[in-house]
Chains A and B, each alone.
Chain A
């Protein structure tokens, strides 16, 4: 089994261009490989989901896309990750600037222990935003479908919101930076089904303006919301294709076994 056929990227499938291009990416923690030789493209204005069993390296791969792995001691990255043609792994790019353009939403809602308003306004503020902050806060909250619930209590603590509201606040906070790409690391795993479906609707609405990469171990979720799906196992990319293909007619046997629920 060579990895050639499996990892061949789909070239401009919908005629859309690639925002991120990963080539032979390997990531090691203290010498232990977590991701091995992954090559794939992330297409603009599409939702790409990364699925796979726990510990398969999908979160690690996601965190390499905005250099959040930099904060973990003893991480080494090999291969090439290009963002708009610029190499991410080297010294050419300032990770602070990169993270401003590639936003991230985490597994557990992590609002700042400050007011709802400040949660949104802080990021643009430190990055030198010069427009009307009130408008930006409203715009971001509207986009995250949270405005109606919080418009009368913007000065309340963000921690007074429910878990689902907090996660939408975190999405609004990321959107306020107008990122090119939004990375989501299992954004619904700590939420109840109703909150989850609201966030799924939100992701669907957002993809007209943003490129979204979502890690999930919920296969139905990947099938519902994503255009492309990557299936990973033990740090390797088993298959990457348009979502419909992965779920109805996968090339690899392991993919079929996983998406039909026979393991994982």
Chain B
């Protein structure tokens, strides 16, 4: 018995043309959306650069805030931001990566495991102001850490931990099982396997999560205002227990003033903030690239 399958494709050529055309349209649509994002960003950059570039000089970087625009600078805010990033790095990364490692490699799948995982995913979506309230209640008041850098860094750590954990877990999950098997079959303990093979192999992915979350932390204002980071600081923090301000808070403060000059100062501060961010990201991408090369 023979069936003529060919007869079931009466308009093959036409159908093929339509299919090709759809493919072209879709790829054009994707390109358009991509470039739209880039274009918007470029417009924003341009606007900020035009507003702020003339205020950018050494005096701006090395002066404390002032009520006279031409005397005002971002020294305390910049130093505060750098303090905060450094402390965040030391608090949030070890906690986040260890948690991810525990959940992926060491803990047995069970009810508690699932409960923790679910809650971490939920926490990633909690508005940042809520973390500010927690920080105020727990760190500032409860532990009596006052409105210090420690309070700020701990609050920000809460904020970015879920992102670090989720990204690190994905990175650890993507390490091929072959590597785990190979290590265990050589008589390695779970710790030796994790330290020598799982962490190095997942390092680039973990780093991506860390960059994203630190970038987010640098830009956050709400939780810091909530825990009472100051808006006017005419001194530099000398230790983790000192009060502080950060760039986003300084920007927020300047933007909310009526004088045009302060708006331009805000634009200049945004340029500095973006520079700090891009430098950090570039550094991280460079390290990631180096590690990926080494793993090949």
Contact = CB atoms under 8 A, between A and B. Distances in A.
Contact of A99 (B108, B180, B184, B196): B184
- Scoring A111, A122, A159, A174 by chain B CB atoms within 10 A of each residue's CB, the highest score goes to A122
B123 to A, nearest CB: 26
A103 B184 contact: no
A238 interface: no
Given A73-B109, A157-B296, A110 B186 contact: no
Contacts of B279: none
A99 B197 CA distance: 17
B178 interface: yes
A108 B182 CA distance: 11
A245 B193 CA distance: 43
Interface in B104-141: 108-109
Given A68-B185, A99-B187, A108 B178 contact: yes
B112 to A, nearest CB: 15
Interface string B186-200: 111100100011001
Nearest to A101: B187
B176 interface: yes
- Scoring A96, A157, A170 by chain B CB atoms within 10 A of each residue's CB, the highest score goes to A96
Contact of A66 (B108, B109, B178, B185): B185
B181 A126 contact: no
Contacts of A173: 182, 186
B18 interface: no
B182 A159 contact: no
Contact of B187 (A73, A126, A157): A126
B201 interface: yes
A68 B184 contact: yes
Interface string B278-296: 0000000000000000011
A230 interface: no
Nearest to A66: B185
Interface string A202-214: 0000000000000
Nearest to B185: A104
A97 B179 CA distance: 19
A159 B296 contact: yes
A106 B181 contact: yes
B189 A96 contact: yes
A100 B186 contact: yes
Contact of A126 (B108, B185, B192): B192
Contacts of A123: 186-188
Contacts of B201: 113
A258 interface: no
Interface in A143-174: 157, 159-160, 170, 173-174
A219 to B, nearest CB: 26
A103 B296 contact: no
Contacts of A111: 182
A174 B181 contact: no
Interface of A: 66, 68, 71, 73, 96-97, 99-101, 103-104, 106, 108, 110-113, 122-123, 126-127, 157, 159-160, 170, 173-174, 177
29 contacts: A68-B185, A71-B180, A73-B108, A96-B187, A96-B188, A99-B184, A100-B186, A103-B185, A103-B186, A104-B185, A106-B178, A106-B181, A106-B182, A108-B178, A110-B179, A110-B181, A110-B182, A112-B182, A122-B183, A122-B186, A122-B196, A123-B186, A123-B187, A126-B192, A126-B196, A160-B296, A173-B182, A174-B185, A177-B186
Given A97-B187, A104-B181, A173-B186, 12 more contacts: A68-B185, A71-B184, A99-B185, A103-B185, A112-B183, A113-B179, A113-B201, A126-B187, A127-B187, A170-B182, A173-B182, A177-B187
Closest A-B pairs by Cβ, 3 of them = A100-B187, A110-B178, A123-B186
